[in-house]
Structure 1
Amino acid sequence: MKKLILVLMSVVLAYSSCETEGEPVEEDLVVPAVSLPVPVEEVIPELPVAVQEVIEEDDFDPSSITPEMYNTAKKDVQQLIKELNNIIRSRNYNVWVSYLGHDYFEEINSPEFLKRVSESSFLKSKNTVVSDSKDYFTHVVVPSRANSRVDDIEFVSQKRVKAFMVTAQGQRLRLYDLEDFGDGWKIIN
C-alpha cells in the first residue's frame, strides 16, 4: 500500500512540476483506470490498481529479444489495444472479460480490491460503490481506457510485456501488463 501511495504522490508531483521544459523523465508510472476524457498531458486522477505485479523471470535476458520479435509484439499489442478500445467504448463487459488473464480477473473481483477502488476519491466524489468486476468495468475502465494507445512496450519475459503510452513531455505511463498465453495477449494487470 505504501508503494502505491508513493507512486500516486510521484505522479501528482511530476505533473504539477511540468511547467518548465527539461529532459523527458522516463519512469514506469502506472496509469490506473480512471476518467481519461482529458488530454494525457493533464493530471489524471488516481485510483487503486490491482496489486498483482508482473514477476520478472530470473533467467530472462532482454538481449534475447530480437528487433523482429520486438516489432511483431509491439504491432500485436497495438492491435490488441485498438480492439480493446472498441470493446470498451461499446461497453461490452462480456467480451472485455475474455481479454483478462484468470488471476487478474480474480484480483479485480476480490473484496479488498473492490473496497480500495470504492474508497478512492474519484468514485467517492460520484457516490459510486464498485461491488464487482462489472461495476469496475462500467465506472472505472470505460471512462479511462476507451482511448488508450501504445507507444512503446518493454519485455519482462519472453511472453510478458508492459505497454506504455508516452506523453508530450516524454513521460512513459504504463497502461497494461500483458502476457501471451499462446492464443493471444491477455491483460494480467
Structure 2
Amino acid sequence: MTSRSFRIFATKDDLLSIFLDFQHNTKIHYFKCGRMYNLIETSDITKDTLFGINIKGNHTNNQWLICHNDTIPLKRKNNMCLDKFIFFLDQELNESSVVINIGGVYEDNALFPTEISTIWYEDAESQELYTMLKKSCKKYTTCTQNGYLIGKNAFSCKMQYRFCTINIDSPPMYDLKFK
C-alpha cells in the first residue's frame, strides 16, 4: 500500500475553479465519507451547500471519496455498531479512489487547507485520479509555501485570513506564514 497526499490553501473561488476543471476533464462521482445510513453521491461537488466552507474550525472538515463514473464504492460494516443499517464509507475497501477533505474559509477570518490523498497510489485508476486532481490544483496555484500549494485567490487574501494548519484554537505560531 503506497500513499500520496498534498494540501492546498484555497478559497471557495479557488476551489470552484479547481473542481470545475477536474470534473470537466474526468468523468467521476463523489461519495460522502463517514458513518451513515444512505449513500450520498454527487457528480458535481461544487453544488454541495458546504463547499468551500469550513464549519468545524479544524483541518478535518468535509470528506468525500472520488471514484470513476462506473464505480460504486464498497461499504464497510463495523461489528461494534449494533444498528445493522449503519455503514462506513472510506478508502479502506475502495482501491480505485482518492479522498478529498475540503477545507475553506472558517467564519470569515481563517482559511483551512484542502487535503487530497490516496492510500492506493499503486492502483492505476487511483493514481490517475490523484494526478488529474493535482494538475487541476496546480493550474490555479500561485506558489508553494512550506509544502502547501497556495491558490491564486487565497494568496491575494493572505492579509485577510489566518492560514490555519491545525485548529482555530491553535496558537497562531502554528499558522502558515508567508515570507
TM interval, shorter chain, is under 0.3
Q: Taking structure 2 as the reference length, what is the TM-score of the superposition?
A: 0.26
TM-score by length of 1: 0.25
Greater helix share, 1 or 2? Answer: 1
